[in-house]
Amino acid sequence: MTGFRIVLRKFGATPQEAFSGKSGYVVDGRWHSRGRYVDYVAASRSLATLERLVHYKRFDAIQPHVVFTVEIPDEQITIVPTIPPGWDGEDLLPAAQVLGDEWCDRATSPAFRVPSAVTPGEYNLIVNARHVAWVWDWVVSGPVPFEFESRLLELLQKAV
């Protein structure tokens, strides 16, 4: 599966920085609770863009970003077994976080495929680059400079 990760340039000078899991360690996510070294990767570049922008509070202060592309073999990806009701709500759902926590804690695989709450029908991967089966060769490009389309930012500013 191909995946894309957009990160602030200051935190993504190398693949090792972009896939350090530090953000997952300090912040809860939809599919994990803090304390786990994980990173989120989107299944398309456009989904990665939306997933990144949905977390911004101010669109007038966007700093430089870079994008990384990964190619993770399908056999190295675990698919979320069940989707708890309400997983895609505005508030994080502990039942969804438990699924990602169990996957990470059991070291089932280097990647966990979960649905995107931003774009129904699309998927994200949670990546554990500290997993023993992780191969850095899976990062096939990056860091590549990335800029958000100005019209998209203007639209988001008007919506806020």
CB 114 within 8 A of CB 124: yes
What is the mean pLDDT of the segment spanning 152-160? 70
Is it the case that residue 67 has pLDDT exceeding 60?
A: yes
Query: 13-33: per-residue pLDDT in tens?
Result: 899 999 999 989 999 999 999
Instruction: Give the pair of three-digit tokens for residue 159.
Output: 């919506």
Q: How far apart are CA 8 and CA 13, in angstroms?
A: 9
Grouping H, G, I as helix, E, B as strand and the rest as coil, residue 153 is: helix
Query: How many folded domains does the chain comprise?
Result: 1
Give the number of other Cβ atoms within 10 Å of residue 141's Cβ.
12
CB 65 within 8 A of CB 9: yes
Instruction: Give the pair of three-digit tokens for residue 35.
Output: 């304390």
CA 72 vs CA 42, 75, 108: distances in Å = 12, 8, 15
What is the mean pLDDT of the segment spanning 127-149? 94
Q: Which amino acid would we find at residue 33? A: S
Domain of 121?
2-159
CB 18 within 8 A of CB 7: yes
Instruction: Quote the pTM value.
Output: 0.91
